[in-house]
């Protein structure tokens, strides 16, 4: 067990004597690293996201400060302390004050036991209970009737109890999700999302995880309020990304983009377009505005793409314009800025794009430029990713109330090269000279490549 320096002590948290006595009885001498970092933030009522492995002492890291806040001892005189829990009152019938979600029955029993041990001196008594699946639900329903101050639950059983009206969430003041990485997988994930919608918005959120998959970063954005981040150094970048949404008329996107590129000193920018042709067109349009950029998409030869990528990685190219498919192969995680010129088709791709930015210690920026026809699609992306981003307008590029007409998509003439044999046959059929060299290349009409993104929305217009 990694404990902190000898100077660090449980007394330094000004815990109540009830709590200090329980700590002593447990045989804990000094706080562990995770306890030392987590306890002060929880005592202040802050949201906390912490990376903590099993065996790190994480249970006491959240149990001790939560119980201390529920302890009856002179709590209001302790400066800076969270005053959410009225120590004299315990949970009302069928209510819960602290909900702890865990992935397994064993963990649920174990954590409820730790709470019970640490709470044993507190008066009025604090009721701790665990509920989990695989056993009869009735005894658990009965036990919940009198109210439970601390409920440690597996998600499925909690939802069953909620469906049976055996539990009320209106008194919840804190939600702890332990092993959140395990809980944000498969069926659990949906259950966690359902549960979080049942809880009062105003609550403290504490999450503990050993790893940091993308699903957690979404949950964190969705439910947490400026969390204190602990031991997450290698993950912080992902959270430290500023996401901006700028509304603009579609016919002003190029000018706005050029203005953003000229007026910000981003070292490198990755611009996402939905179609290969848009990438190429955008390069030309930026060139006309004296901005050099390079397109990268799957129409380019593999060797050319590799070369571009190498130059971009080495910092020789400042602006790279790419489709999602091409960008997926770009192994550059530390971009200062990514711009969504077009929105990605899938909400997941949006998160992939976001994940490309952010530099150690520096904030990354993701900017989405959205025109009228993209509003609805962006709302879907936000909803799926649990985002609610502010819409900005940039002076000089304000959005019109009525969207300007979209350009008509004219069919593009494409020259098709025929083999000599084909040309000869065609000439014969047309009854003209069979001198192949004299035959003009035949022009065929093909449909213009449709932008991959928002296809359904375009269709609706
Ligand atoms: P946890 O990571 O919460 O499962 O805790 C792992 C083990 O560490 C449990 O047996 C705890 O009782 C023990 N423990 C927690 N905090 C401390 C501490 N400060 N000093 C010594 N042991 C501790």
8 Å CB contact between 57 and 32: yes
Task: Please work out whether the CB of residue 3 comes within 6 Å of at least one atom of ligand 1.
Answer: yes
User: 337-340 and 364-370: which strand pairing?
Assistant: parallel
8 Å CB contact between 457 and 342: no
What local confidence, expressed as pLDDT, does residue 439 receive? 35
CATH of domain 10-231: 3.40.50.300
Nearest CA to ligand 1 atom 11: 57
Please indicate whether the domains covering 10-231 and 236-392 agree at the CATH topology level.
yes
Quickly list DSSP for 225-282.
SS-EEES-TTTHHHHSEEEEEEE--GGGHHHHHHHHHHHS--S-EEEE-SSHHHHHHH
The residues that bridge with 174 in the sheet, in sequence order, are: 98, 204
Grade residue 450 by pLDDT with cuts at 50, 70 and 90: very low
Atom number in ligand 1 closest to CA 31: 19
- Rounded to 10 deg, the angle between the 186-198 and 214-223 helix axes is 0
8 Å CB contact between 382 and 410: no
88, 133, 135, 153 from 161: Cα distances, Å: 27, 10, 13, 10
Give the residue, 326 or 405, on which the prediction is more confident.
405
What local confidence, expressed as pLDDT, does residue 458 receive? 26
Residue with tokens 């995680």, as numbered in its chain: 333
What local confidence, expressed as pLDDT, does residue 235 receive? 52
Nearest CA to ligand 1 atom 8: 57
Task: Please work out whether the CB of residue 31 comes within 6 Å of at least one atom of ligand 1.
Answer: yes
Task: Please work out whether the CB of residue 264 comes within 6 Å of at least one atom of ligand 1.
Answer: no
Three-state DSSP class for residue 207: strand
| CA dist., res. 142 & res. 265, Å (int) | 63
CATH of domain 236-392: 3.40.50.300
Q: What are phi and psi of 444, to 5 degrees?
A: -120, 150
Three-state DSSP class for residue 316: coil
Span 175-186, average pLDDT: 89
Mean pLDDT of the chain: 81
The residues that bridge with 368 in the sheet, in sequence order, are: 245, 340
What local confidence, expressed as pLDDT, does residue 208 receive? 93
pLDDT of 324 strictly over 70: yes
pLDDT of 77 strictly over 60: no
- Residue-range domain boundaries for the chain: 10-231, 236-392
| CA dist., res. 364 & res. 362, Å (int) | 6
| CA dist., res. 242 & res. 264, Å (int) | 15
Grade residue 422 by pLDDT with cuts at 50, 70 and 90: confident
Q: Which two tokens stand for residue 229?
A: 């981040």
Q: How far is the CA of 57 from the centre of ligand 1 (A)?
A: 4
């Amino acid at each position: 067990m990694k404990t902190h320096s000898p100077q660090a002590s449980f007394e330094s948290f000004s815990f109540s004597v009830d709590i200090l006595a329980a700590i002593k009885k447990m045989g804990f001498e000094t706080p562990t690293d995770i306890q030392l970092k987590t306890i002060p933030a929880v005592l202040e009522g802050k949201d906390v996201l912490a990376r903590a492995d099993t065996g790190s002492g994480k249970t006491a890291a959240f149990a001790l400060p939560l119980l201390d806040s529920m302890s009856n001892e002179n709590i209001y005189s302790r400066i800076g302390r969270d005053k959410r829990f009225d120590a004299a009152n315990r949970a009302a019938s069928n209510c819960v004050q602290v909900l702890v979600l865990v992935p397994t029955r064993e963990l649920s029993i174990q954590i409820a036991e730790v709470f019970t041990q640490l709470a044993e001196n507190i008066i009025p008594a604090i009721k701790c209970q665990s509920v989990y699946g695989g056993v009869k639900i009735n005894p658990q329903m009965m036990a919940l009737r009198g109210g439970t101050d601390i409920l440690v639950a597996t998600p499925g059983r909690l939802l069953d109890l909620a469906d049976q009206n055996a539990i009320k969430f209106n008194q919840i003041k804190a939600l702890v999700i332990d092993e959140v990485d395990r809980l944000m997988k498969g069926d659990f994930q949906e259950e966690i999302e359902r549960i979080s919608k049942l809880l009062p918005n105003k609550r403290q959120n504490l999450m503990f995880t050993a790893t940091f998959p993308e699903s957690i970063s979404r949950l964190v954005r969705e439910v947490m309020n400026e969390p204190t981040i602990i031991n997450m150094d290698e993950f912080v970048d992902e959270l430290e990304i500023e996401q901006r949404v700028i509304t603009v008329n579609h016919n002003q996107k190029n000018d706005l983009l050029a203005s953003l590129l000229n007026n910000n000193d981003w070292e490198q920018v990755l611009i996402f377009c939905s179609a290969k042709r848009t990438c190429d067109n955008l390069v030309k349009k930026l060139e006309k505005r004296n901005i050099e950029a390079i397109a990268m998409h799957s129409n380019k030869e593999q060797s050319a793409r590799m070369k571009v990528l190498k130059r971009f990685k080495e910092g020789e190219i400042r602006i790279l314009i790419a489709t999602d498919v091409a960008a997926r192969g770009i192994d550059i995680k530390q971009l200062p800025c990514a711009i969504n010129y077009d929105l990605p088709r899938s909400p997941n791709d949006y998160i992939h794009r976001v994940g490309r930015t952010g530099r150690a210690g520096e904030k990354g920026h993701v900017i989405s430029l959205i025109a009228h026809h993209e509003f609805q699609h962006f709302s879907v992306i936000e909803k799926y990713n649990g985002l609610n981003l502010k819409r900005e307008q940039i002076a000089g590029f304000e959005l019109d109330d009525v969207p300007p007409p979209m350009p008509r998509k004219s069919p593009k003439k494409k020259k098709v090269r025929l083999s000599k044999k084909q040309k000869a046959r065609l000439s014969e059929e047309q009854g003209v000279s069979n001198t192949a060299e004299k035959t003009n290349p035949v022009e065929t009409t093909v449909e213009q490549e449709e932008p991959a993104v928002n296809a359904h929305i375009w269709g609706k217009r």
